[in-house]
Amino acid sequence: MLHGMKSRGKREWSVYLVRCADGSLYTGVAKDVEARVEKHNKGVGAAYTRSHRPVTLVHHEKGFTRSKALIREAQIKRYPRPKKEALVFPVPVPVPSLVQDSMAWRQKRGKRPVHKKVE
């Protein structure tokens, strides 16, 4: 955004991924994703999905202006397939084990775990 300009766009746009009948992924933007997926399945959506029906919604990101949604769509379209699949099936990070490792390391070194007061 240019300095001094105000953002006037409403954050009502979404970026979505649908999985087509042949397993391919299609990325698009819409205000109403459910209605857009219905259009894809009726054959009045994008030309690509017309010949790859039915489609199923597999990923949905909300809260964009139209401009930001189009930028995010282009970004996702540039992703290689494994990175797109990671959006659909995110790999969980084992946070508890990281905390346990940190506490074990501190105990070996003779340091007590740091506990912060929550106010």
The candidate with the shortest Cα–Cα distance to 55, out of 23, 26, 19, is 19
Q: Can you give the pLDDT at residue 77?
A: 97
Contact 17, 84 (CB under 8 A): yes
Beta-bridged to residue 27, according to DSSP, are 17
| Count of residues in the chain | 119
Token pair for 5: 């300009």
Q: Please check whether residue 93 lies inside any domain of the structure.
A: yes
State the pTM of this model.
0.70
Contact 16, 30 (CB under 8 A): yes
Q: Please check whether residue 18 lies inside any domain of the structure.
A: yes
Q: Please check whether residue 80 lies inside any domain of the structure.
A: yes
Above pLDDT 70, what percent of the chain? 69
Q: Please check whether residue 53 lies inside any domain of the structure.
A: yes
Q: Please check whether residue 74 lies inside any domain of the structure.
A: yes
Q: Please check whether residue 76 lies inside any domain of the structure.
A: yes
Q: Which is higher by pLDDT, 99 or 27?
A: 27
Number of domains in the chain: 1
The residue whose two tokens read 């995010």 is: 72
Q: Please check whether residue 104 lies inside any domain of the structure.
A: no
Q: Please check whether residue 107 lies inside any domain of the structure.
A: no
If residue 29 lies in a helix (H) or strand (E), which one and from where to where? strand 25-30
Q: Can you give the pLDDT at residue 1?
A: 47
Other C-beta atoms lying within 10 Å of the C-beta of residue 29: 20
pLDDT at 27 over 60: yes
Domain boundaries, position 64: 13-99
Whole-number Å distance between alpha carbons of 115 and 37: 48
Summary mean pLDDT of the chain? 83
Which pLDDT band, with edges at 50, 70 and 90, does 111 fall under?
low
pLDDT at 99 over 90: no
Task: State pLDDT tens for residues 52-89.
Answer: 999 999 999 999 999 999 999 999 999 999 999 999 98
| Domain harbouring 65, CATH code | 3.40.1440.10
